[in-house]
């Protein structure tokens, strides 16, 4: 698979999730293991340009595919910059998944209203309750 622009060759058992391969084999700690059941969104990454929950995706399914984690965004992505300006994080645990979901949401053209943003970000939970700031950051990053 190609991870953050680099070709990676992994030999993992069939049951290893993409999340575990990224964290344990490649040392990428951006995707977090929150619930390990696909309910919190902390493990969100992009697979071939679409957001996926890496805790529910098998690493073997990613053979020959492109994976992007928050580490692969390079410098400060406009969504990351908006998150900083709007204090859209507190403890930071969920932030990598929130940022990658927000990028997808904007790319999908689903940031039309605050209600749309809340709906399409509903799979990403924040225990600190930074939701109003997250919505404001996404609204700004979407160019409104």
* Among 92-96, 112-116, 133-137, 140-144, the least confident range: 140-144
Q: Quick one: CA torsion of 109, 115, 120, 126, rounded to 10 degrees? A: 130
Return residue ranges of the chain for CATH 1.10.150.120.
Answer: 75-141
Contact yes or no for 98/131 (Cβ under 8 A) = no
pLDDT tens digits for range 44-99? 999 999 999 999 999 999 999 999 999 999 878 999 999 999 999 999 999 999 99
Side-chain half-sphere exposure of 84, counting CA atoms within 13 A: 6
Beta strand segments in the chain, E: 2-3, 6-7, 44-47, 50-53, 66-68
Return residue ranges of the chain for CATH 3.10.20.30.
Answer: 2-72
Question: Residue 75: its pLDDT value, please?
Answer: 76
Question: Residue 144: its pLDDT value, please?
Answer: 62
Where does 2-72 sit in CATH, by number?
Answer: 3.10.20.30
- pTM, two decimal places: 0.95
Class of domain 75-141: mainly alpha
pLDDT tens digits for range 5-38? 999 999 999 999 999 999 999 999 999 999 999 9
């Amino acid at each position: 698979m190609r991870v953050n622009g680099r070709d990676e060759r992994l030999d993992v058992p069939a049951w290893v999730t993409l999340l575990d391969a990224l964290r344990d084999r490649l040392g990428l700690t951006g995707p977090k293991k929150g619930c390990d059941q696909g309910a919190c969104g902390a493990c969100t990454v992009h697979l071939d340009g679409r957001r996926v929950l890496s805790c529910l995706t098998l690493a073997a399914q990613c053979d020959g595919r492109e994976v992007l984690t928050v580490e692969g965004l390079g410098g400060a992505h406009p969504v990351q910059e908006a998150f900083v300006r709007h204090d859209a994080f507190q403890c930071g645990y969920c932030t990598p998944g929130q940022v990658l979901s927000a990028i997808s949401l904007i790319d999908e053209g689903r940031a039309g209203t605050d209600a749309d943003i809340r709906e399409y970000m509903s799979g990403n939970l924040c225990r600190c309750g930074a939701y109003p700031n997250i919505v404001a950051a996404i609204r700004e990053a979407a160019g409104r």
